[in-house]
Each structure stands twice: as structure tokens, then as C-alpha cells.
Structure 1
Amino acid sequence: TSYPLVAVVSNSMEHNSLDFDDWWQNSEEYYSSIGIAKNSFENFPLKNGFNKGDIMILWRANSNNIKRGDVIVFISARTNPKPDPIIHRVIIIEEKDGSIIYQTKGDNHITNRRQINGCFQDGCIYESDIQQSQILGKTLFKVPYLGYIKIWFVDLLNLFIK
């Protein structure tokens, strides 16, 4: 992958300091509605989410190695994407017109109660129609908090640029 690591810049995958059982109690309705049971989610990589400021180490991602429950990094839309890649969990994989299509969702039960599909001031996100060409990598593991160095640096630069 051309992106071997990325810094997490949003809280969309945070579990808000809840242990897994408490987080699941808040998230169960959505995941159950798409056929993901608690015992399945417990076996997903990064089952406890991750936080803004973490660094994610990525690996090549393709239709042979992406599974339901994996966390992928992707370009948010094919046209007018948001400037930063999105880091979310794969919840559905399906075939559509001969291509594999991925659907994702952030774990945060407060900010991401449902999938995000639409356009905003800074670009579009379509979590229910992600093609292989949009995927930058699949997460292998996280390094907590190290990403804050990048976040603080970019915030500082933006103060001088604006």
C-alpha cells in the first residue's frame, strides 16, 4: 500500500471509554439488524475500537483478504471525496454488477448511529458503496496516541496558512 500508516483524526471509531459489554449494549440493535451477533463482533480485529490520535499500521487490501469485521482505510467517495481518508469497519461485503462492494460503519455509537451517505461542505462520504479502487489498506494494528504528533503539527500549520 502507498499508505503504510495513517493517523486517526476523528472519533468515529471510539467506544467512548466503555468496556466491550457496555459498548455492545448501546450498539447491539444496529449490528443485530444486519446479522452481526455479539460473539461474532468479539472476534473482529480491533473489537474495542480505537481513538483519535492513534496510528494505524496498514497492509495491502484486496477482495481476497478483506473480511466482514476488518477495519479498512478508504477514499470516502469516487467524486468529491473528503480530504482525509476514512477508517471504518467493514460490515457488509456483496457482489454488484460483477464487482465486490464494501459497506462500512464507524463503531462510535454516539456519532455513527447509522452509516454515513451524503455530501458535506468538505466533501462526500458514501459508506454503502465502496469499490476496491477506493481502498488504501487494511489495518494490521494500532499504535496508541502517536498520531497526535501529526494532528498537532497540521493544526499548527493551519493556523499560519489561514
Structure 2
Amino acid sequence: MNKGALKKFFKNFWFIVWKDESFKGWVFSIIFLLIVIKFIFFPVLNFASGTSLPLVIVESCSMYHEGNIFSNFDNWWEVHDLKYFQEKIIKTKFLNFPFKNGLNKGDILFVIGIKPEKVKIGDVIIFNAGEKNPIIHRVMTIQNENGTYFFSTMGDNNNGQLFIEKKINQNQLVGRPLANIVPYFGWVKLILFENSKSSEERGFCTGNLN
């Protein structure tokens, strides 16, 4: 292909993708954007964030606080203080934890990779536990056994720990949420799969008052 033909090709391509308002133009634009997102945007984001899951949607209510972004921390703590007392975590310590007001179902999180030795008690981590989706919970304890780190976690809205989160190997780590970049917007995807979930998992979150 000579220089003139190549220039004409790119000119026509640019017109179809960005300026053609016909149905064909819209189809080409959507296909082009999907290709860019899949093969350029996400690979670059994966590399920059240091994790295979740089964007994660919160799919459960296990980290929910009553009222979510408008929650009253003091009221929430009165309900949940006992379970943290058992873990030797007091209120003033929890106030300095990341995401101290929890996370809501549908929140979209920006995630970065993290080295096991950099994880701290109170951090929210994402880890694989052999389930369909990774789990997003808060670190309760950290152990170093002959150079290998093990973590235990608990959901802010759960009564206690799940069996699968009592001893998490460092190799199960996916990353650590850095920011809740788009609250609730993940519902655009979640709503498509709500009917396939159990009745306990469906719908909006409510605070655990037990």
C-alpha cells in the first residue's frame, strides 16, 4: 500500500469512526471503542496498577454501613463494636482505617497491586478464595510464618469471619482498593444478574443489626 492509499484509508476510517452519523458509522464506532478498551486501555491499566483486576465492582453487602456515604460512624460502631473488641480493635484505631464508612454494593473501586509485607491491619484487600468472585474484606490479623504472610479478614457488615477468610495465603492476594471512584454505578452491570442470585443476595443493602 503506497503512501497516498494509506492516507486515504486513514481519512476514510477517521470519518466512519468519528464523523459518520449513519447506522454503519455508529456500529463501527462502538466496535472500535470496544477494541481500544479491551486491547489497549485495560492492558495499560493492568500494567500501571500492578494487578490483573484494576477495576472491581462490589457485588455483595458484606462491607456495607447503614446509610453508606451518609452513614453515621458512631451509630454503626455501637452495633458492631463487640466483634472488633474481640479482635482487639478499638474505635479510635478503626477511625484511621481506609474506607472507615464501608463500601456499598455497586461501587466501582480502583485497585492497585500490593506486596504482602505492605498490608496493614485495617486495610481492605481483595483476595481469591476459590469462590466465583474475589472477596473484598478488611484485614483483622497478619501472621508471618517462615517468610510467608497469612491474613484473616472480616466484612464490616458481617457478624463474624467466614471459614475461607481465617487464613489467607499471600498468594491469594489480588490487590488493595485505592479509591471508590464511582459509587453505585456498578449496578448497571449487576442488575443484569440479580435474578440469578439467591434471595438473600438480591437487592439493595441493609445494615446488619445483630
TM-score normalised to structure 2 length = 0.64
Identity level (%)? 42
2:124, 2:136 within 8 Å by CA — same for their partners in 1? yes
User: How far off its partner does 1:65 sit?
Assistant: 2.1
SS in 2 for 1:64: helix
Residue aligning to 1:120: none
Aligned residue runs from structure 1 range 8-157, under 5 A: 8-17=58-67, 18-76=71-129, 81-108=130-157, 112-117=158-163, 126-142=164-180, 143-155=182-194
Which structure 1 residue ranges, 5 or more long, are not aligned?
Answer: 118-125
1:153 & 1:62 partners in 2: Cα distance? 34
TM-score, normalization: structure 1?
0.83
Structure with the higher fraction of residues in strand conformation:
1
Structure 2 unaligned spans of 5+: 1-50, 197-210
* More deviation, 50-59/96-105: 96-105
Q: CA RMSD in A?
A: 1.7
Equivalent position amino acid for 1:62 in 2: K
CA distance 1:155–1:32, change in 2 (3 Å): closer
Flag the structure with larger Rg. Answer: 2
Alpha carbons 2:141, 2:153 under 8 Å: kept? yes
Structure number with the bigger relative contact order (C-alpha 8 A, sep ≥ 6) is 1
- The AA in structure 1 aligned to 2:174 is L
SS in 1 for 2:191: helix
After superposing on structure 2, the runs of 4+ consecutive aligned residues of structure 1 that deviate more than 2 Å are 152-156
